[in-house]
Amino acid sequence: MRKTLFIMFLLISFQTISLLAGESWAIQSGSKYRDESRSVYPTYDGGFIIGGITRLFDKKGDLVLMKFDKKGSIEWQKYFPAPKEERTATVVETSDGNYVIGGTSFSWSKSNIRIGKFWFINVSKKGKVIWQKVLWSKWGDLFMSMDRTKDGGIIAVGETLVNSPKTGFDLIAMKIDKKGKVIWSFAYPRKGIDEVKKVKATSDGGCIVIGKAVKDKKRWGDLWIVKLDKFGKVQWQKLYGGEGEENGSDIVETDNGNYIAVGWTRTFATRERGLNAWILKLNKKGKIIWQKRYGNFYKSYLLGVGELSDGYLAVGYTPEEAVGGVFKGRMGDAITVKIDKNGNLIWHKDIGGTLNDNLYSLRKTKDGGLISCGNTNSFIKGRDTDFFIVKFDETGDIACSRNISINGRKYEVLNTSAMVYNVKYSALKLDLFSRNTETREKRLNFTINKLCSSN
């Protein structure tokens, strides 16, 4: 009897551990032409939706949405044809369970003048277009990123020439409601060139923007962060860096209201021409709590970050020299860097095949894991870049037994000593031009290839 109870206890314990372990898998999806994904968003039903670009029908690029269930099986896929070029797709789920995809569009002009616009398309749970419109300022704008805010609105950011056509791009930000109505829109002019990478909504109803900015009379750019309140006004803005180049690519608000920012550094790299992964923890006012770089003599770029129960996971890319070199039959890989709450390295792993692979975006899933997307051309012979989608379990790991390789590497961890520079921005209200657009969703037939699965 005791033996039977013990066996039953082991079985129940094993099943519980299996359930807690969560799912992990990797998918490649695309056409024979160039397809790129840089945005993923978990959905209310436990699945997720991918935003991207395809050149299957138009070499200039069309917007794409792909809806998956929680196991990575495709539910539907659509693309949205337009006359000219589209870039930089980002997707969010709205508070009513529909979706908005945004991107830069060079279509929909009344003349032949090539002006960039923010293009938003709202679609139903099945991918049917509900509304669509373009918004732009006088000189045109480049869409870069968007996120859903605490009140159900959508904050979108990018780069604009409206205030500095001779000196370079400035940050532009706008907030729209779920029906596409503009709530506010501002540009943030200053001396120097700003490169916007991502925006994340914050728990106070505002948002935080990360990228790269060039300080006055400084050769290299620094990692750059701007905190905006719910009305679009600047709360604080800072540059983080040293004598060399630094770049910021993603930022996430932690459970206690601080921030984790990721990017890469040249100043603190291990060799003169190298680039190392760089992670900073900041308090609510942007003051550095700790800062560390992770690497060796090779280049490594961090492009996305997410929080786990026991730390943080960052994803990115390392070029061919770090994984054996193209002449040894291997090119660049996606990378994952897992750290604890204090920035101590738990692991650094390469993920991919024999050609180039990378991961750009990272979001937390309902099971406590993380979902990421990027690009690959490793797994289908004769193709250009395809979508690369990776589901990590709640530990930030992935179990694979075929097609895809995962290699742990020993990387150094060193404290860095970046300086913090306060910079001045003033919010300049913008009057936007608006136009409804006319495109209909069309069915897409990307191949779906499950590279590996923990089940």
Our CA angle for 439, 444, 445, nearest 5°, is 170
User: Looking at the domain assignment, is residue 96 inside a domain?
Assistant: yes
In a 3-state reduction of DSSP, which class is residue 266?
A: coil
Task: Give the three-state DSSP class for 9.
Answer: helix
Indicate the helix (H) or strand (E) that contains 447. strand 447-453
In a domain, 131, yes or no: yes
169 found inside a domain? yes
Q: What is the pLDDT of residue 217?
A: 61
154: CATH:
2.120.10.10
Residue 129, in any domain of the structure: yes
pTM of the shown model? 0.92
Q: Which of 217, 236, 213, 216 is nearest to 226 (CA)?
A: 236
The predicted pLDDT at position 321 comes to 56
* pLDDT score of 330: 56
Per-residue pLDDT of 61-79, as tens digits, reads: 999 999 999 999 999 999 9
pLDDT score at 353:
86
pLDDT at 127: 96
* Closest CA relative to residue 87, chosen from 127, 131, 39, 40: 39
Domain-embedded: residue 236 = no
In a domain, residue 272? The reply is no
pLDDT at 212: 95
Domain membership flag for residue 99: yes
Low-confidence stretches of the chain (pLDDT < 70) are 1-21, 111-113, 163-167, 216-219, 272-273, 297, 320-330, 382, 401-402, 455
Instruction: Tell me the DSSP string of 58-83.
Output: -TT-EEEEEEE-TTS-EEEEEEE--S
Q: Check residue 321 and report its DSSP letter.
A: G
Question: What are the CA-CA distances from residue 117 to residues 106, 179, 380 (Å)?
Answer: 6, 18, 34
Query: What pLDDT does 12 receive?
Result: 35
Per-residue pLDDT tens over the stretch 157-194: 999 987 655 567 899 999 999 999 999 999 998 877 88
pLDDT at 198: 98
Q: Token digits for 11?
A: 């079985």
**Residue 165: what pLDDT?**
56
What is the number of residues in the chain?
A: 455
| Segments forming the whole domain that contains residue 108 | 82-189+431-441
- 324 within a domain of the structure (yes/no): no
Tell me how many domains the chain contains: 1
CB burial string 97-132: b at 16+ within 10 A, e below? ebbbbbbbbbbbbeeeeebbbbbbbbbebebebbeb
